[in-house]
């Protein structure tokens, strides 16, 4: 049983926009969402920085294309013009300028009308680092040795203002981990 079934209700949108091409998953981790997409018939191109996570994802979903790399590196050429990009809790490790640049690259990678389905750490995420850690910058902290960004609704809107059409934005509590985690779910369409 998937303890965080956030993606299942979005599968009709994914299948509508994928147009028989692959889904680009940024920060695929051990392949939980990759598996959901593959079971729905999608080919997934997954990227993650952790070699261990890539091995786990490959064991979970044999048919996917996986790349062990930093998200700031060029995306695989096989991802050019995809109809769907998935980024669940993976866009929060970077300073603001790098985060803006990453949003622009995602936009450029999507075909017109393509969608980005993402979840971002909320500034209300008290259990997982939004307070009590050394501050690097506004809403950006050093959490257990790693930089982590937390987003307000205004920051989400700012991140995706140029060239995007917001389809949905909502702050939610998810139960993927030991404690409830506060996240923003944002579903966006690349404007033509």
What pLDDT score does 2 carry? 56
| CB-CB contact of 10 with 84 (8 Å) | no
Residue bearing tokens 């490790």:
93
What pLDDT score does 81 carry? 95
What pLDDT score does 1 carry? 46
Rounded CA-CA distance 60/138 in Å is 37
Rounded CA-CA distance 46/106 in Å is 14
DSSP output for 106-163:
HHHHEEEEEEEEEEEEBTT-GGGTSSSS-EEETTEEEETTEEEE-B-HHHHHHHT-TT
What pLDDT score does 16 carry? 95
Rounded CA-CA distance 95/137 in Å is 8
Three-point CA angle 53, 146, 135, nearest 5°:
155
How does pLDDT run along the chain (192 residues), one tens digit per residue? 457 889 999 999 999 999 889 999 999 999 999 999 999 999 999 999 999 999 999 999 999 999 999 999 999 999 999 999 999 999 999 999 999 999 999 999 999 999 999 999 999 998 777 788 999 999 999 999 999 999 999 999 999 998 999 999 999 999 877 788 999 999 999 997
What pLDDT score does 34 carry? 97
Domains in the chain, start-ordered, CATH in brackets? 8-190 (3.40.50.150)
């Amino acid at each position: 049983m998937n303890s965080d079934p956030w993606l299942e209700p979005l599968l009709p949108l994914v299948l509508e926009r994928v147009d028989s091409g692959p889904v680009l998953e940024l920060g695929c981790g051990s392949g939980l969402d990759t598996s959901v997409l593959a079971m729905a018939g999608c080919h997934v191109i997954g990227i993650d920085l952790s070699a261990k996570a890539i091995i786990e994802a490959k064991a979970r979903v044999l048919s996917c294309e996986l790349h062990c790399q930093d998200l700031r590196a060029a995306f695989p050429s096989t991802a050019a013009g995809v109809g769907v990009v998935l980024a669940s809790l993976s866009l929060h490790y970077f300073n603001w300028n790098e985060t803006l640049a990453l949003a622009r690259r995602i936009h450029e990678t999507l075909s017109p009308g393509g969608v980005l389905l993402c979840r971002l750490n909320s500034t209300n995420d008290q259990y997982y680092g939004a307070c009590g850690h050394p501050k690097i910058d506004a809403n950006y902290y050093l959490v257990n040795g790693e930089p982590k960004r937390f987003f307000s609704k205004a920051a989400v809107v700012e991140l995706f203002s140029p060239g995007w059409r917001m389809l949905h934005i909502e702050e939610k509590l998810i139960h993927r981990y030991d404690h409830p985690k506060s996240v923003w779910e944002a579903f966006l369409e690349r404007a033509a």
